Amino acid sequence: MKIAAIQMRSGPDPEANMAALEPMLAEAAAAGVRYVLTPEVTMVFAENSEALAKVAAPFDDHPQLRRVGELARQHGIFIHIGSLAVPLADGRFANRSVLFGPDGAVVTTYDKIHLFDATIAGLNAYRESATYQGGTHATTAALGPITLGMAICYDMRFPTLFNTLANAGAGLIAVPAAFTVPTGQAHWHVLLRARAIETGSFVIAAAQGGQHANGRATYGHSLVIDPWGRIIAELDHDAPGVLVAEIDPGLVAEVRERIPALANARSFTPPVPLHS
């Protein structure tokens, strides 16, 4: 089974981002892929919440998503939009993944659960919770011979989500991302490989990369990792591009049999806090 990760350098203009995405989707389809993943904030990467509010379209009859559905049907493939901002009633947004099937219809969606509220040395503070509302449900979907599990960017730091997805049958876990450069250099590869190893799953990570029009810089380095933790494909840079990899769904069961960590996991009582 061939899969692909698309690396982008999205900006604040949805139409420009869609125009950049279309030929890369065509390239992936021409390579014979069955499933293609795009990065986090594929459709709009705005400077701030005020700018985002001006361009983020409602989910129903979203113009760019409507076009993606047409392309999924045209190419006959699964297209997974890593995420886009969806306006909510409280003035915030959902950071939402959308999976289209080969018939062009939406198969399922996933709203990013874990929100990045942190201060990184030398950079501005990030407060995703001021702009986004976190999701509450883990999501899987059937991709023929393998089941897909959905995560987004910061979710990769929370192993419980990945174990939940694997225990629900996921053998391929998608991690679209817009990772910062400092955290990417330190943690991107090791975190993604760890999630693959501990769940015995393939991991596909489609990234934003480079210097964006909103002033942000992202790490790039889109990856596909096998259930043994081996990087089997990588874009070793931060430029836009298409990463194609061939995966063997049967390897999931083989690795989980060799290292049955999911089956061997046990619940336990946490320690009682010590008082001085």
Alpha helices in 113-249 (DSSP H): 128-131, 159-167, 181-183, 189-199
Task: Report residue 218 as tokens.
Answer: 């992202």
Model's pTM, two decimal places?
0.96
Residue 275 inside a domain? The answer is no
The total number of structural domains that make up the chain: 1
| pLDDT greater than 90 at residue 47 | no
Mean pLDDT of 26-38: 98
Which position among 2, 22, 40, 198 bears the catalytic label? 40
Residue 272 inside a domain? The answer is no
**pLDDT reported for residue 267:** 94
From residue 179, alpha-carbon distances to 5, 120, 235 in Å are: 15, 12, 15
Residue 186 inside a domain? The answer is yes
Residue 234 inside a domain? The answer is yes
Annotated active-site residue 40? The verdict is yes
Each residue's pLDDT tens digit, 183-228: 999 999 999 999 999 999 999 999 999 999 999 999 999 999 999 9
Which position among 153, 198, 246, 254 bears the catalytic label? 153
Residue 274 inside a domain? The answer is no
**What CATH number did the domain enclosing 241 receive?**
3.60.110.10
**pLDDT reported for residue 119:** 76
Query: Half-sphere exposure of residue 185, counting CA atoms within 13 Å on the CB side?
Result: 3
How much is the mean pLDDT over the chain?
96
**pLDDT reported for residue 123:** 63
Tell me which residue range forms the domain holding 217.
2-264
Which position among 112, 198, 234, 254 bears the catalytic label? 112
Each residue's pLDDT tens digit, 214-270: 999 999 999 999 999 999 999 999 999 999 999 999 999 999 999 999 999 999 999
The one-letter amino acid code at 154 reads Y
Each residue's pLDDT tens digit, 141-186: 999 999 999 999 999 999 999 999 999 999 999 999 999 999 999 9
